[in-house]
A and B are shown apart, each in its own frame.
Chain A
């Protein structure tokens, strides 16, 4: 019996696709990978859900099932709403800042270094190099550099006339900026390289044709480069969004969530609940809520932005 064709809309055209034949051998070939995935990804999620219905403290080996008590705590307790809203707000501010820095400056640098000559290759390598250094090492170096009294940054600022030392890590406003400087310095090179490879994939014909029509450089960037980079931008946006929302290491090394929880991002808050307060039960509900938020935002971003992404170069 012939299988029915599936009809799909792709790029405004109706396409008929014949479903592939199912082979059991394919299933068994994929099974080990699927099992590993289940074991290291889905099982922990299921376990997280289970723990969220217990009163398990990390330091205790006995626990009871308490129903929705932890969920009730999450949405009603003053201690929860106070710290949860604070960490959510800080995570969003950090994410917006980090995406703007990484994608904005990454695109700018990609344009700047979009030449296939040796000096430019060296400069590209220099910009990308921080990516090779572990974030914890970078954090410690920045910690010294940003020390209010003895840090090299404030000393350099002194040379240009800023005599009052800036409290980079102890000030409520500056602390998050300091972390953004570190993570930006660490992540820009990666975005630049991805944009560079995408820029090299854009046919020169578009630029030549538009030049003949009298388009300026800015117009070419606005109407050719940006639209044709949109799949890359979407990819970088989604990956940077997720990694920014999950920021932890730089915060842990640089500020430990301080001063006064002004850099306490979501993952740090979850860590604090689990390992400082030993409340695995409460850490689980916050982690699950965070998971749902990430999932919803990523899915809706994909849905909204997909309409404005141009895949045909």
Chain B
């Protein structure tokens, strides 16, 4: 009887240990970790200042922030370091579309236990739902939003006001808008970033066409609605309403927009501050006010805006200790807090990732400062942002999509022929998983 009792007690003890197995959140004095990021200029300066503030608040933690390069460089370095099992940072910024494959390969830590363990330092429910949803892999929260951006239209508000037109909110109103502005200016009305599908993909999904149908493992672009939209875009390109930019895109679009060679560009929200500054200062010979607009609604009212830009991960590599990972998560908590987010957004034009930043009275002053500098930010409804299809081949299929779209739009390639080859190539890629 005593033996049985002892066994039962031992089992209960073991079970209770398992049930209460929590993350060891200890961060000893002198914990130092490496943080890789991709921010430069004023953004980097703000980030460095915020990290210094974090270190002052947490004297036992030393953050070695390192600018590595653009997203592609960070992805390459991260994968290489992971393969070598040395030199992996405890915290890194990556591009959102990469997250799914990293999560599938268990390259990143599941942040769920961290969120629970550090609950008093991070209000997880305060993040915008679409942003955190994009960074989920099944039940695991594999990243947290930081440096989020969207794909928005910048337009010459002064010009549109003088023509008494507003930027269309629905795809069906686009043609009339383009015609009016083109007739008045005889210049391309919209320039579209043609080498990244993220910018024009939203137009397709709002019409109901998706790049990957996860149920059939084929592309949803093989549909009449997708082809019709592509034909419509092509007709606008042929009429001179739209310019599909595939060359030196960032410079070309900035110069064309700020010098009055086009009325609008479809680009990342993270360049709002620099576009505004250049347009309002007349840096390229024309002074005007900049407006921003979301992607237009689809025919049935679908309004998808997609989360893009950066996200923060803690690599799962064993070369970093649990203490370093804890310290890294503490930094995430700090950098994604509403105060820091408002300061970060005011400098960088990246979206604020916390709902309370715009609603909680304690942040009213900082939010007002953000809107004073970037007034059009108020037009962006971050609640309408949703997660894209999470598929490890999304990026690869996107490359094929943008390749054929640029053949059709920029090189006047045959729509039917190119579309069919594109469908075949995407389906082959999906089959070759």
- Listed in ascending order, the chain A residues whose CB lies under 8 Å from chain B are 57-61, 73, 77-79, 82, 143, 147-150, 167, 169-172, 258-261, 275-278, 280
Contacts and interface: CB of A to CB of B under 8 A. Distances in A.
Contacts of A172: 411
B336 to A, nearest CB: 24
A3 to B, nearest CB: 50
A59 B247 contact: no
Nearest to B79: A58
B107 interface: yes
Interface string B402-433: 01101100110000000000000100110010
Contacts of A143: 248
Nearest to A275: B76
Contact of A77 (B79, B410, B432): B432
B123 interface: no
Contacts of A148: 247-248, 252
B407 A59 contact: no
Given A77-B428, A170-B246, 5 more contacts: A58-B80, A59-B102, A147-B251, A276-B395, A278-B101
Contacts of B80: 58, 275
Contacts of A147: 247-248, 251-252
17 contacts: A59-B79, A59-B101, A59-B102, A60-B105, A61-B82, A77-B432, A79-B429, A82-B425, A148-B247, A148-B252, A149-B252, A167-B247, A170-B410, A171-B411, A259-B406, A275-B79, A276-B396
B107 A59 contact: yes
A60 B428 contact: no
B407 A170 contact: no
B428 A78 contact: yes
A60 B106 contact: yes
B195 A258 contact: yes
Contacts of A278: 79, 101, 105
A78 to B, nearest CB: 4
Interface string B78-102: 0110110100000000000000011
A179 B418 CA distance: 26
A275 B75 contact: yes
A260 B406 contact: yes
Contacts of A61: 82-83, 85
B38 to A, nearest CB: 16
A150 B254 CA distance: 12
B256 interface: yes
A170 B409 CA distance: 12
Nearest to A77: B432
A172 B105 CA distance: 36
B255 interface: yes
A73 B429 CA distance: 12
Contacts of B403: 258, 260-261
A63 to B, nearest CB: 10
Contacts of B105: 57, 59-60, 278
Nearest to A277: B396
A172 B195 CA distance: 14
Nearest to A151: B248
A73 B433 CA distance: 11
Contacts of A167: 247
A278 B428 CA distance: 18
Count class of interface residues, chain B = 20 to 34
Nearest to A261: B403
Contacts of A58: 79-80, 82-83
Choose among A60, A79, A167, A170 the residue with the greatest number of B CB atoms under 10 Å from its CB.
Answer: A170
Contacts of A60: 105-107
A78 B251 CA distance: 37
A73 B411 CA distance: 32
Contact of B432 (A78, A170, A258, A275): A78
Interface string B170-205: 000000000000000000000000010000000000
A170 B432 CA distance: 29
A104 to B, nearest CB: 30
Contact of A150 (B107, B255, B432): B255
Nearest to B425: A82
Nearest to B245: A170
Contacts of B425: 79, 82
Contacts of A275: 75-76, 79-80
Contacts of B85: 61
B316 to A, nearest CB: 9
Contacts of B76: 275
A79 B425 CA distance: 7
A191 B252 CA distance: 37
Interface in B143-193: none
Contacts of A277: 396
A38 B428 CA distance: 40
B318 to A, nearest CB: 9
B82 A59 contact: yes
Contacts of B404: 260
Given A147-B248, A169-B247, A259-B246, A79 B432 contact: yes
A77 B432 CA distance: 8
A124 B6 CA distance: 93
Nearest to A56: B83
Interface string B390-406: 00000110000001101
Contacts of B251: 147, 150
Contacts of B83: 58, 61, 280
B411 to A, nearest CB: 7
Contacts of B429: 79
Contacts of B428: 77-79, 82
B200 to A, nearest CB: 16
Top-6 shortest CB links A-B: A170-B247, A59-B105, A58-B79, A60-B105, A78-B428, A79-B432
A58 B82 CA distance: 8
Contacts of B106: 60
A280 B323 CA distance: 32
Most B CB contacts (10 A, CB to CB) among A73, A148, A280 go to A148
Interface centre among A58, A82, A261 (most CB of B within 10 A): A58
A58 B83 CA distance: 6
Interface string B125-139: 000000000000000
A88 B425 CA distance: 19
Contacts of B406: 259-260
A171 to B, nearest CB: 7
